[in-house]
Structure 1
Amino acid sequence: MNNTLVTVGIVSFLSGALLSQWLLAQKVHSRPRKLERYLSSDDEAETEDDDEQGEEEDDVEIESLALNEVPGEVRMTLCVRQDLKMGKGKAAAQCSHATLSLYKKITNPNSPAYNPEMVRRWEYGNGQAKITLQVPNQEEMDLLFAKAMSLGINACIIHDAGRTQIAAGSATVLGLGPAPKRTLDEVTGKLKLY
Protein backbone atom coordinates (compact mmCIF):
# COMPACT_ATOMS: atom_id res chain seq x y z
CA MET A 1 0.00 0.00 0.00
CA ASN A 2 2.82 2.44 0.87
CA ASN A 3 4.58 1.63 -2.42
CA THR A 4 1.33 2.39 -4.26
CA LEU A 5 0.99 5.75 -2.49
CA VAL A 6 4.61 6.62 -3.25
CA THR A 7 4.11 5.65 -6.90
CA VAL A 8 0.91 7.70 -7.15
CA GLY A 9 2.68 10.66 -5.54
CA ILE A 10 5.63 10.44 -7.92
CA VAL A 11 3.39 10.08 -10.97
CA SER A 12 1.23 12.98 -9.76
CA PHE A 13 4.27 15.19 -9.22
CA LEU A 14 5.74 14.37 -12.62
CA SER A 15 2.36 14.88 -14.30
CA GLY A 16 2.01 18.24 -12.57
CA ALA A 17 5.51 19.28 -13.60
CA LEU A 18 4.90 18.27 -17.22
CA LEU A 19 1.49 19.95 -17.23
CA SER A 20 3.05 23.11 -15.83
CA GLN A 21 5.70 23.14 -18.57
CA TRP A 22 3.03 22.53 -21.22
CA LEU A 23 0.86 25.33 -19.84
CA LEU A 24 3.82 27.70 -19.86
CA ALA A 25 4.53 26.79 -23.49
CA GLN A 26 0.87 27.38 -24.35
CA LYS A 27 0.95 30.69 -22.53
CA VAL A 28 3.87 31.84 -24.68
CA HIS A 29 2.20 30.86 -27.98
CA SER A 30 -1.50 31.41 -27.31
CA ARG A 31 -3.98 30.97 -24.50
CA PRO A 32 -6.99 28.75 -25.10
CA ARG A 33 -10.23 30.37 -23.83
CA LYS A 34 -10.80 27.62 -21.26
CA LEU A 35 -7.41 28.26 -19.63
CA GLU A 36 -7.79 32.05 -19.67
CA ARG A 37 -9.64 32.07 -16.35
CA TYR A 38 -6.96 29.95 -14.63
CA LEU A 39 -3.81 31.66 -15.81
CA SER A 40 -2.57 35.18 -15.27
CA SER A 41 0.59 37.03 -16.18
CA ASP A 42 1.71 37.17 -12.55
CA ASP A 43 2.48 34.21 -10.26
CA GLU A 44 -1.02 33.49 -9.01
CA ALA A 45 -1.73 31.41 -5.90
CA GLU A 46 -4.52 29.45 -7.59
CA THR A 47 -3.80 26.59 -9.98
CA GLU A 48 -5.93 24.12 -11.88
CA ASP A 49 -5.13 20.59 -12.96
CA ASP A 50 -6.70 18.10 -15.38
CA ASP A 51 -9.44 16.89 -13.04
CA GLU A 52 -10.73 20.40 -12.34
CA GLN A 53 -9.32 20.40 -8.77
CA GLY A 54 -8.50 24.05 -8.22
CA GLU A 55 -6.21 24.59 -5.29
CA GLU A 56 -5.00 27.71 -3.52
CA GLU A 57 -2.00 28.13 -1.31
CA ASP A 58 -1.04 30.50 1.45
CA ASP A 59 1.40 32.69 -0.45
CA VAL A 60 4.26 33.40 1.94
CA GLU A 61 7.77 33.56 0.54
CA ILE A 62 10.54 32.90 3.02
CA GLU A 63 14.22 33.63 2.48
CA SER A 64 16.07 30.42 3.34
CA LEU A 65 19.68 31.21 2.40
CA ALA A 66 20.88 30.84 6.01
CA LEU A 67 19.90 27.16 5.85
CA ASN A 68 22.62 26.57 3.25
CA GLU A 69 25.07 26.49 6.18
CA VAL A 70 23.27 23.53 7.82
CA PRO A 71 24.96 20.30 6.69
CA GLY A 72 23.32 17.00 5.91
CA GLU A 73 20.46 15.55 3.93
CA VAL A 74 17.95 17.90 2.30
CA ARG A 75 14.30 16.91 1.81
CA MET A 76 10.74 18.12 1.50
CA THR A 77 8.19 17.32 4.16
CA LEU A 78 4.48 17.08 3.38
CA CYS A 79 2.13 17.17 6.39
CA VAL A 80 -1.33 15.77 5.58
CA ARG A 81 -4.30 16.74 7.76
CA GLN A 82 -5.88 13.67 9.32
CA ASP A 83 -9.16 15.18 10.55
CA LEU A 84 -10.32 15.71 6.94
CA LYS A 85 -10.25 11.94 6.27
CA MET A 86 -9.11 12.42 2.66
CA GLY A 87 -8.87 9.37 0.44
CA LYS A 88 -5.35 8.25 -0.51
CA GLY A 89 -5.69 9.59 -4.07
CA LYS A 90 -6.94 12.96 -2.86
CA ALA A 91 -4.08 13.18 -0.34
CA ALA A 92 -1.54 12.25 -3.05
CA ALA A 93 -2.92 14.99 -5.33
CA GLN A 94 -2.76 17.56 -2.53
CA CYS A 95 0.84 16.54 -1.74
CA SER A 96 1.68 16.96 -5.42
CA HIS A 97 0.24 20.48 -5.37
CA ALA A 98 2.39 21.29 -2.34
CA THR A 99 5.53 19.81 -3.88
CA LEU A 100 5.13 21.79 -7.07
CA SER A 101 4.33 24.99 -5.17
CA LEU A 102 7.46 24.68 -3.02
CA TYR A 103 9.61 23.92 -6.04
CA LYS A 104 8.24 26.87 -8.02
CA LYS A 105 8.97 29.27 -5.15
CA ILE A 106 12.50 28.12 -4.43
CA THR A 107 13.51 28.05 -8.12
CA ASN A 108 12.00 31.43 -9.06
CA PRO A 109 14.80 34.04 -9.26
CA ASN A 110 12.22 36.80 -8.64
CA SER A 111 11.07 35.27 -5.35
CA PRO A 112 12.53 35.98 -1.91
CA ALA A 113 12.41 32.18 -1.46
CA TYR A 114 14.90 31.64 -4.32
CA ASN A 115 17.71 29.33 -3.18
CA PRO A 116 19.50 27.48 -5.99
CA GLU A 117 22.06 25.96 -3.61
CA MET A 118 19.31 24.27 -1.57
CA VAL A 119 17.65 23.02 -4.76
CA ARG A 120 20.97 21.61 -5.96
CA ARG A 121 21.49 19.78 -2.66
CA TRP A 122 17.92 18.43 -2.77
CA GLU A 123 17.99 17.35 -6.41
CA TYR A 124 21.46 15.80 -6.54
CA GLY A 125 22.32 15.03 -2.92
CA ASN A 126 19.69 12.41 -2.21
CA GLY A 127 17.27 12.13 -5.11
CA GLN A 128 14.69 14.82 -4.28
CA ALA A 129 13.64 13.12 -1.04
CA LYS A 130 10.10 13.77 0.21
CA ILE A 131 8.45 12.47 3.35
CA THR A 132 4.75 12.51 4.20
CA LEU A 133 3.64 12.94 7.79
CA GLN A 134 0.32 13.13 9.65
CA VAL A 135 -0.83 16.39 11.19
CA PRO A 136 -3.95 16.03 13.36
CA ASN A 137 -5.82 19.25 12.52
CA GLN A 138 -5.77 22.82 11.21
CA GLU A 139 -4.57 24.34 14.48
CA GLU A 140 -1.51 22.09 14.64
CA MET A 141 -0.82 22.75 10.95
CA ASP A 142 -0.88 26.51 11.58
CA LEU A 143 1.56 26.15 14.49
CA LEU A 144 3.94 24.09 12.36
CA PHE A 145 3.69 26.66 9.55
CA ALA A 146 4.57 29.49 11.93
CA LYS A 147 7.51 27.55 13.39
CA ALA A 148 8.81 26.76 9.90
CA MET A 149 8.65 30.43 8.94
CA SER A 150 10.54 31.39 12.08
CA LEU A 151 13.34 28.97 11.10
CA GLY A 152 13.53 30.24 7.51
CA ILE A 153 12.02 27.11 5.93
CA ASN A 154 10.28 27.47 2.58
CA ALA A 155 6.60 26.65 3.32
CA CYS A 156 3.11 26.57 1.82
CA ILE A 157 -0.36 25.48 2.87
CA ILE A 158 -2.58 24.04 0.15
CA HIS A 159 -6.31 24.85 0.27
CA ASP A 160 -8.80 22.67 -1.59
CA ALA A 161 -11.24 24.14 -4.12
CA GLY A 162 -14.06 22.03 -2.66
CA ARG A 163 -15.20 20.28 -5.82
CA THR A 164 -14.97 16.71 -4.49
CA GLN A 165 -14.36 15.33 -0.99
CA ILE A 166 -13.36 18.41 0.99
CA ALA A 167 -15.13 21.69 1.83
CA ALA A 168 -13.93 24.66 -0.24
CA GLY A 169 -11.02 26.49 1.33
CA SER A 170 -10.00 23.65 3.65
CA ALA A 171 -6.27 23.55 4.37
CA THR A 172 -5.22 20.05 3.33
CA VAL A 173 -1.41 19.84 3.25
CA LEU A 174 1.46 21.82 4.73
CA GLY A 175 4.50 21.64 2.48
CA LEU A 176 7.96 22.39 3.88
CA GLY A 177 11.33 22.61 2.16
CA PRO A 178 13.47 21.70 0.48
CA ALA A 179 15.44 22.19 3.67
CA PRO A 180 17.99 20.31 5.76
CA LYS A 181 16.45 17.32 7.56
CA ARG A 182 17.94 18.53 10.84
CA THR A 183 16.04 21.83 10.59
CA LEU A 184 12.81 20.20 9.38
CA ASP A 185 12.93 17.82 12.36
CA GLU A 186 12.77 20.85 14.68
CA VAL A 187 9.33 21.50 13.21
CA THR A 188 7.93 18.04 12.43
CA GLY A 189 10.11 15.64 14.43
CA LYS A 190 7.21 14.46 16.62
CA LEU A 191 4.77 13.71 13.79
CA LYS A 192 4.00 10.15 12.64
CA LEU A 193 4.53 8.90 9.12
CA TYR A 194 1.51 9.14 6.85
Structure 2
Amino acid sequence: MILALSYVGWSGITGFLQPRFLPTSKNEDTNDEDEDEVERIVDGDLSAVKAGTFEPCKLVFVRTNLKLTSGKIAAQCGHATLACYKALIKVNPQLVRHWERTGQAKIALKGTSEEQLLELEAIAKSLNLCARSIQDQGLTQVEEGTRTVLGIGPAPVNMIDEVTGKLRLL
Protein backbone atom coordinates (compact mmCIF):
# COMPACT_ATOMS: atom_id res chain seq x y z
CA MET A 1 0.00 0.00 0.00
CA ILE A 2 2.78 2.42 0.85
CA LEU A 3 4.57 1.62 -2.41
CA ALA A 4 1.43 2.43 -4.38
CA LEU A 5 1.02 5.75 -2.60
CA SER A 6 4.65 6.61 -3.26
CA TYR A 7 4.19 5.87 -6.94
CA VAL A 8 1.12 8.10 -7.18
CA GLY A 9 2.93 10.82 -5.26
CA TRP A 10 5.91 10.68 -7.61
CA SER A 11 3.64 10.82 -10.66
CA GLY A 12 1.95 13.89 -9.28
CA ILE A 13 5.30 15.55 -8.74
CA THR A 14 6.55 14.79 -12.26
CA GLY A 15 3.68 16.77 -13.71
CA PHE A 16 5.07 19.88 -12.06
CA LEU A 17 8.59 19.30 -13.35
CA GLN A 18 7.69 19.67 -17.00
CA PRO A 19 9.60 22.40 -18.86
CA ARG A 20 6.42 24.29 -19.72
CA PHE A 21 6.15 25.38 -16.08
CA LEU A 22 9.66 26.80 -15.95
CA PRO A 23 10.21 30.52 -16.54
CA THR A 24 11.69 31.35 -19.91
CA SER A 25 14.73 33.52 -20.38
CA LYS A 26 15.45 36.04 -23.11
CA ASN A 27 18.04 33.63 -24.51
CA GLU A 28 15.25 31.22 -25.43
CA ASP A 29 13.72 33.58 -28.00
CA THR A 30 15.37 31.58 -30.78
CA ASN A 31 13.23 28.57 -29.84
CA ASP A 32 10.11 30.35 -31.14
CA GLU A 33 11.13 29.45 -34.69
CA ASP A 34 11.45 25.78 -33.71
CA GLU A 35 8.00 25.81 -32.11
CA ASP A 36 6.50 27.36 -35.25
CA GLU A 37 8.13 24.65 -37.34
CA VAL A 38 6.72 21.92 -35.09
CA GLU A 39 3.24 23.38 -35.43
CA ARG A 40 3.48 23.39 -39.26
CA ILE A 41 3.90 19.61 -39.43
CA VAL A 42 0.67 18.06 -40.67
CA ASP A 43 -0.79 15.47 -38.32
CA GLY A 44 -3.81 13.26 -38.26
CA ASP A 45 -6.39 13.82 -35.52
CA LEU A 46 -4.14 13.69 -32.46
CA SER A 47 -7.18 13.93 -30.20
CA ALA A 48 -8.59 10.67 -31.64
CA VAL A 49 -6.51 8.43 -29.35
CA LYS A 50 -8.25 8.32 -25.97
CA ALA A 51 -6.68 7.79 -22.58
CA GLY A 52 -8.04 4.74 -20.85
CA THR A 53 -7.03 1.44 -19.34
CA PHE A 54 -4.42 0.63 -22.00
CA GLU A 55 -0.69 0.78 -21.35
CA PRO A 56 0.71 3.81 -23.19
CA CYS A 57 4.29 4.11 -24.36
CA LYS A 58 6.55 6.55 -26.15
CA LEU A 59 8.76 5.25 -28.91
CA VAL A 60 12.00 6.66 -30.26
CA PHE A 61 13.36 5.31 -33.56
CA VAL A 62 17.13 5.89 -33.90
CA ARG A 63 19.02 5.77 -37.19
CA THR A 64 21.97 3.52 -36.39
CA ASN A 65 23.44 3.93 -39.89
CA LEU A 66 24.62 7.41 -38.84
CA LYS A 67 26.98 5.94 -36.21
CA LEU A 68 26.09 8.61 -33.64
CA THR A 69 27.79 8.61 -30.24
CA SER A 70 25.69 7.56 -27.26
CA GLY A 71 25.61 11.16 -26.03
CA LYS A 72 24.34 12.41 -29.38
CA ILE A 73 21.69 9.67 -29.47
CA ALA A 74 20.56 10.63 -25.97
CA ALA A 75 20.28 14.31 -26.93
CA GLN A 76 18.37 13.56 -30.14
CA CYS A 77 15.99 11.20 -28.30
CA GLY A 78 15.38 13.97 -25.77
CA HIS A 79 14.53 16.38 -28.60
CA ALA A 80 12.08 13.87 -30.10
CA THR A 81 10.41 13.16 -26.78
CA LEU A 82 10.00 16.86 -26.00
CA ALA A 83 8.71 17.64 -29.51
CA CYS A 84 6.03 14.96 -29.22
CA TYR A 85 5.14 16.04 -25.70
CA LYS A 86 4.75 19.70 -26.71
CA ALA A 87 2.62 18.82 -29.74
CA LEU A 88 0.37 16.33 -27.96
CA ILE A 89 -0.17 18.24 -24.70
CA LYS A 90 -1.94 20.98 -26.70
CA VAL A 91 -4.53 18.72 -28.32
CA ASN A 92 -4.74 15.62 -26.13
CA PRO A 93 -3.68 16.47 -22.57
CA GLN A 94 -5.66 13.53 -21.13
CA LEU A 95 -3.51 11.06 -23.06
CA VAL A 96 -0.28 12.77 -21.96
CA ARG A 97 -1.39 12.82 -18.32
CA HIS A 98 -2.33 9.12 -18.51
CA TRP A 99 1.17 8.37 -19.88
CA GLU A 100 2.72 10.42 -17.06
CA ARG A 101 0.66 8.62 -14.39
CA THR A 102 1.53 5.18 -15.74
CA GLY A 103 5.32 5.54 -15.60
CA GLN A 104 6.18 7.32 -18.87
CA ALA A 105 7.38 4.17 -20.66
CA LYS A 106 9.86 4.81 -23.47
CA ILE A 107 11.23 2.33 -25.99
CA ALA A 108 14.21 2.91 -28.30
CA LEU A 109 14.39 0.99 -31.58
CA LYS A 110 17.05 0.61 -34.28
CA GLY A 111 16.53 2.06 -37.73
CA THR A 112 18.61 1.85 -40.88
CA SER A 113 17.82 4.83 -43.10
CA GLU A 114 16.09 8.15 -43.56
CA GLU A 115 13.66 6.46 -45.95
CA GLN A 116 12.63 4.03 -43.22
CA LEU A 117 12.23 6.92 -40.76
CA LEU A 118 10.00 8.86 -43.17
CA GLU A 119 7.92 5.77 -43.95
CA LEU A 120 7.32 5.09 -40.25
CA GLU A 121 6.44 8.74 -39.66
CA ALA A 122 3.83 8.61 -42.44
CA ILE A 123 2.33 5.37 -41.12
CA ALA A 124 2.15 6.75 -37.57
CA LYS A 125 0.43 9.93 -38.73
CA SER A 126 -2.04 7.93 -40.83
CA LEU A 127 -3.06 6.18 -37.57
CA ASN A 128 -3.56 9.59 -35.86
CA LEU A 129 -0.44 9.14 -33.73
CA CYS A 130 1.84 12.00 -32.83
CA ALA A 131 5.11 11.59 -34.77
CA ARG A 132 8.05 14.00 -34.89
CA SER A 133 11.30 13.52 -36.79
CA ILE A 134 14.30 15.48 -35.57
CA GLN A 135 16.63 17.24 -37.99
CA ASP A 136 20.09 17.91 -36.61
CA GLN A 137 21.59 21.41 -36.65
CA GLY A 138 24.83 20.02 -38.07
CA LEU A 139 27.14 21.46 -35.43
CA THR A 140 28.91 18.25 -34.42
CA GLN A 141 28.57 14.80 -36.00
CA VAL A 142 26.25 14.96 -39.01
CA GLU A 143 25.33 17.41 -41.75
CA GLU A 144 22.74 20.10 -41.06
CA GLY A 145 19.22 18.87 -41.73
CA THR A 146 20.02 15.18 -41.26
CA ARG A 147 17.03 13.37 -39.77
CA THR A 148 18.45 11.46 -36.82
CA VAL A 149 15.52 10.15 -34.77
CA LEU A 150 11.75 9.82 -34.89
CA GLY A 151 9.54 10.12 -31.83
CA ILE A 152 6.11 8.46 -31.86
CA GLY A 153 3.50 8.77 -29.12
CA PRO A 154 2.72 8.49 -26.34
CA ALA A 155 0.06 6.10 -27.55
CA PRO A 156 -1.29 2.64 -26.74
CA VAL A 157 1.36 -0.07 -27.15
CA ASN A 158 -0.78 -1.98 -29.67
CA MET A 159 -0.98 1.10 -31.92
CA ILE A 160 2.77 1.73 -31.65
CA ASP A 161 3.35 -1.93 -32.56
CA GLU A 162 1.30 -1.47 -35.75
CA VAL A 163 3.95 1.02 -36.86
CA THR A 164 7.15 -0.50 -35.48
CA GLY A 165 6.39 -4.06 -34.37
CA LYS A 166 9.09 -5.67 -36.52
CA LEU A 167 11.99 -3.41 -35.48
CA ARG A 168 14.72 -4.40 -33.02
CA LEU A 169 15.48 -2.75 -29.70
CA LEU A 170 18.40 -0.32 -29.65
The TM-score with structure 1 as length reference comes to 0.71
Would the aligned equivalents of 2:52 and 2:98 in 1 still touch at CA under 8 Å?
no
1:88 aligned partner? 70
Question: Aligned to 1:68, what secondary structure does the other structure show?
Answer: coil
Percent of residue pairs bearing the same amino acid type:
41
**Which residues of structure 2 form unaligned runs of 5+?**
1-17
User: What is the RMSD of the two structures over their aligned residues, measured on CA atoms?
Assistant: 2.5
Question: Aligned to 2:108, what secondary structure does the other structure show?
Answer: strand
Give matches, 1:34-183, under 5 Å.
Answer: 35-36=28-29, 38-40=30-32, 43-45=35-37, 59-68=41-50, 72-108=54-90, 114-125=91-102, 127-183=103-159
What is the distance in 1 between the residues matched to 2:143 and 2:156?
33
Give matches, 1:19-30, under 5 Å.
Answer: 21-22=21-22, 25-27=23-25
What is the distance in 2 between the residues matched to 1:58 and 1:165?
27
What is the distance in 2 between the residues matched to 1:163 and 1:41?
18
Structure number with the higher helix fraction is 2
Aligned residues: 154
Q: Which amino acid aligns with 2:76?
A: Q
Would the aligned equivalents of 2:61 and 2:109 in 1 still touch at CA under 8 Å?
yes
**Residues 58 and 44 (structure 1 numbering): CA distance in 2 closer, same or farther, change over 3 Å?**
closer
The TM-score with structure 2 as length reference comes to 0.80
Would the aligned equivalents of 2:99 and 2:154 in 1 still touch at CA under 8 Å?
yes
- TM-aligned CA deviation for residue 42 of structure 1: 8.8
Question: Aligned to 1:80, what secondary structure does the other structure show?
Answer: strand
